[in-house]
A and B are shown apart, each in its own frame.
Chain A
Amino acid sequence: MKNPAPAGPSPSSEYGARARAWGWRRALAPTGNRGDAVFRALLFLAALTILLIVAAMIAATASASVPSMRVFGFGFLTGREWNPVQGRFGALPFIYGTVMSSVIALVISVPLSLGVAVFLVEQAPRRLARPVTFLVELLAAIPSVVYGLWGIFVLAPFLRDYLKPPLQKFLGWLPLFQGPVETGMGLLTAGVILAIMITPIISAVVRDVLAAVPDAQREAALALGATKWETTRVVLANGGPGIAGAIILGLGRAIGETMAVTMLIGNRAEISASLFEPSYTIASVLANEFAEASDELFLSALVQLGLILFLVTFIINGAARLLVWSVTRGTSGTARA
């Protein structure tokens, strides 16, 4: 037998005596079984490894950004000029481009995704729902570069020929729609391609959220004489936080999207009110200029941009998961967050 247990509350049962004697095993697993204890320790180490990797990434990017932070301070976030040759760097054009392209993507994608999700959950017969769900989720599997190529050869000419001229003709009094229409590249095109890319994500999560709303709510609404649309409104209200979480998840993807955006956005680091002008996102500038950056300040400024993107994506995704979890917990099956 092992060493006698140290002083403490002493259960009188034989089980208590054995449990105290098993020391470390008891600490790790309630049953005290050695296999269980080892298993649990291994799982804990695996989870810890992931956390350590994320912490290491934040630490590495933060330390590499220090030279740039020392030179520019908070002015980096408001600086408008990006000039590697003369060593002047400012993040504002990229923050603007990232935010604007994501906002355009959300404006186009959210009604579309909500429509798809509501259709699939509330309206569609089961035989139709499954293949349509499958097709929508297939969109999420297409690589970003392929979206970019399709954008260059199909979407950009289409927008240039059929969408931009009418927009400028009828809404050209808005500064949003003034600007060059001869070219397909620009903020609007990037926003549209992002919308296509985030629709499957938002619609998949909203679908799960709506499916998690208890049927009792629908039955109650119908029993009170609500129409199908009014019932759907009740269901949507119920899944509110979850839908918000889905939208934020889509936003998180749109902010980080690189290849498709860099092929379509025109890559000019300038802020302009027009959606037709070219722009630049953080992810695009990192993809384009990181390999070539040789001087220390340039590299450090790029890493600082990456740090900003990393932290923003981290926070957005964290908030999204919390929101989605708050709605779908307690329902059968694991939440598809």
Chain B
Amino acid sequence: MNFNSNLLGRASALFCAASLALAGCSVRPVGKGGGSGPTSPGGPVRLQGAGATFPRPLYEKWTSEYGKLNPNARIDYQSTGSGAGVNQIIAGTVDFGASDDPVSDDDLKKVQGSELVHIPTVLGAVVVTYNLAGNPELKFSPDVVADIFLGKIDRWDDARIRADNPGVSLPAAAITVVARADGSGTSAVFTDFLSKVSPEWQQKVGKGKSPNWPTGQRAKGNEGVVASIKQNPNTLGYTELIYAEQQKLPAASIRNAAGAFVKPSLDSISAAAAASLAQTPDDMRVSITNAAGADAYPVASYTYILVYKEQPDAAKGKLLVDFLWWALHDGAPFARALSYAPLPAEVRARAEAKLNSITSGGRPLRGA
């Protein structure tokens, strides 16, 4: 063996070992009680959030805009689904969770430590979308929607669909229903509406994030449902309004509790929230589907951000409440631009009160 190559070999081995050791030193350990570990002084403050897919486009816009205003902040949001978001905030692996569906009483019992606060951020709508030749505008009665998803109505030219849509030519084809395969707040809101309007649905399937859909295929995520519908004719499914608009899919009008066929729009969603103000309890967990107003869209819902009332890390807690305050006020124009309805004034006032009540070490974080 040549002396030079031996020396080279040993030197390169030493170099590799040294660089690996240095790389290992710079990795920060992930602590419990917060997604991104303790804040190093002077470094960027990081927040980790996870939850609903419905508000993902909006939260991503908010986090990037806020990051431009406050370069010291790094906020990451992963849209893993409402159920996963609730599980993670309860387990403490993220700093804030997000869910379309308010956290159930059973899940709230699992919360350890301080109280979990629901902060409504925006309103959204679940729309019935479809792929038909000629792209007609369709109207549905709520019981027709329930029966389609129950499998009792399985053809497009069924008499009841034609009764709701006089003058529209419907194909003599089977309806392929597309639902969600994964647990989803969108599914929870939609099945909440179906349970209210169809006693058979309430009894057979009920409301939930992962209901046992009696018929149809299932796709993963709002994105998967929309892709399935767009690629296959004569399909029908449900998704959030923004996804249907982005993919240029039609959104059906649904008859509301007052008897009018209402198209989903920012105004009709806000009307639903306004009509339900009286029933909104103090912890903001309310269902606004099938709301009573004349212009209300019947399948609307709040989407919530879930935070702990007592924040363990003061720096991260301050960033969190400041970000949420900014989102509720300066973030509203971004919401409208992305087809999310901002909160009615009274609800926003209540959300502000909730933000003001968030503390760290017993001291309120806002106004600190």
Contacts and interface: CB of A to CB of B under 8 A. Distances in A.
A262 interface: yes
Contact of B181 (A85, A153, A156, A262): A262
B255 to A, nearest CB: 27
Contacts of B80: 291
Given A180-B174, A294-B86, A294-B87, A85 B219 contact: no
Nearest to B176: A183
Interface in B171-225: 173-174, 176, 181-184, 205-206, 208-212, 216-220, 224
A292 B87 contact: yes
Interface string B224-266: 1001100111110000000000000000000000000000000
A289 interface: yes
B94 to A, nearest CB: 13
9 contacts: A156-B231, A182-B232, A284-B181, A288-B181, A289-B181, A289-B182, A291-B84, A291-B87, A292-B209
Interface string B150-190: 00000000000000000000000110100001111000000
Contact of A85 (B83, B173, B174, B206): B206
Interface string A289-322: 1011110000000000000000000000000000
B212 A182 contact: no
Contacts of A253: none
Contact of A182 (B81, B176, B181, B209): B176
B343 to A, nearest CB: 27
Given A85-B211, A152-B227, A266-B217, A289 B232 contact: no
A81 B87 CA distance: 25
Contact of A288 (B87, B209, B220, B232): B220
Given A83-B212, A289-B182, A292-B183, A263 B231 contact: no
Contacts of B107: 294
B234 A182 contact: yes
Contact of A84 (B212, B224, B233, B234): B212
Contact of B83 (A82, A278, A294): A294
A268 B212 CA distance: 10
Interface string A135-162: 0000000000000000011001100100
- Do most interface residues of chain A lie in helix, strand or loop, or is the interface mixed? loop
A276 B82 CA distance: 32
Nearest to B206: A85
Contacts of B216: 268
A267 interface: yes
A292 B181 contact: no
A250 interface: no
Contacts of A160: 232
Interface string A4-29: 00000000000000000000000000
Give chain B's interface secondary structure class: loop
A291 B217 contact: no
Interface in A83-115: 83-86
Contact of A292 (B81, B173, B211): B81
Contacts of B211: 85
B228 A152 contact: yes
Contact of A278 (B84, B183, B217): B217
Given A278-B217, A289-B210, A292-B209, A185 B182 contact: no
Contacts of A85: 205-206, 208, 210-212
Contact of A267 (B83, B217, B233, B234): B217
Given A85-B210, A182-B174, A292 B217 contact: no
Given A268-B218, A291-B84, A294-B107, A153 B231 contact: yes
A38 to B, nearest CB: 15
A291 B83 contact: yes
Contacts of B183: 289, 291-293
A261 to B, nearest CB: 11
Contact of A291 (B81, B173, B232): B81
A292 B83 contact: yes
A242 interface: no
B150 to A, nearest CB: 15
A240 B80 CA distance: 47
B210 A263 contact: no
Given A182-B232, A183-B232, A267 B219 contact: yes
Contacts of B87: 291-292, 294
Given A85-B208, A156-B232, A289-B183, 5 more contacts: A86-B212, A180-B174, A268-B217, A289-B182, A291-B80
